[in-house]
Amino acid sequence: MEKKAIRVAYGEALVKLGETNEKVVVLDADLASATMTNAFKKAYPGRFYDCGIAEANMVDMAAGMSTMGLIPFCSTFAVFAGRSYDQIRNGVCYPKFNVKFGFSHAGITLGEDGGSHQAIEDLALMCVLPNMTVFVPSDANECYACVEAAAKIDGPVYIRTSRLATPVYDPRPFTFGKGTVIKDGKDCVIFTCGIMLEHSLNAVEVLAEKGIDAALVSFHTLKPFDEQLACEYAVKCKKVFTVEEHSVIGGLGDTVAPLIVGKGVEAFRKIGINDVFGQSGKPADLLLEYGLTGPQIADKIISSL
């Protein structure tokens, strides 16, 4: 199966978007070769702005550009969402300006850069902001769709992308704000997002070998969230598990939890980063260390059934 980093797809999507929409401009904080906005820089140098290592300034520049009718896409590492948070909150979300954030290298699979650069809290920061839309594409094809949708949304949008090359799945129907049923099942349901789709699929296979028929639902949009679909599968399967490459605090798990209270759910468990920082290592080793490989996910589900 073809593999491609979601950050690469993000860069490709910006170039394609720039071809058809002259209002699109791209800003980067001295990381264009990592966030992959360098492709847009090469194609449209007059619409690309390298803001240097000054993320807060970048966000304020983009806010100003948006008031002139432009559609700015800001890019940097996801961990620097914290460095520019005041500007994102008060300079973009509060006035509901039309600024997009394509923040890369999220989660522990950033790898060797270690805990200081592995964003495990960015979804919590972004989901709590009024007016913010939050996308977590699971592969390159979904990223293309998220970027296209972001440009059409009138208001702030956050797109979480990853460094690690991951499987590219056949294109699936994409509807803003709606989850995608990857596999139906009856014994339990796994809700996932982002690159954890690959490992959740593996977990479903391991569970099947043990006679457990697990459903799998992927959510490319965390906000607004597909509450109807989540509740439908919670009621149907009664045993609910969330899997994410993010802290178990404030991410997908905490989005799902309040929705399923009183729905007759017999088991619920959040599988993710358990309130600790990441550390330096190869992505595969880190996934193993933090219990996020397919077999480990399956074992956690079995122990909770």
Q: Which residues are catalytic?
A: 55
Amino acid at 291: G
The enclosing H or E element of 63 equals helix 55-66
CA 151/CA 71 separation, integer angstroms: 7
CA distance 88 to 92: 5
**Under 8 Å between Cβ of 185 and 241:** no
Greatest extent of the chain over all pairs of C-alpha atoms, in Å = 58
Q: Which of 115, 53, 106, 52 is nearest to 78 (CA)?
A: 106
Q: CA-CA-CA-CA torsion for 217, 192, 261, 124, nearest 10 degrees?
A: -140
- Two structure tokens written together for 153: 């949304």
Q: Tokens 């990381």 sit at which residue?
A: 31
Q: Quick one: which of 270, 288, 269 has its CA closest to 278?
A: 288
Find out whether 112 and 71 touch, Cβ atoms under 8 Å.
Answer: no
Cα distance between residue 156 and residue 31, in whole Å:
21
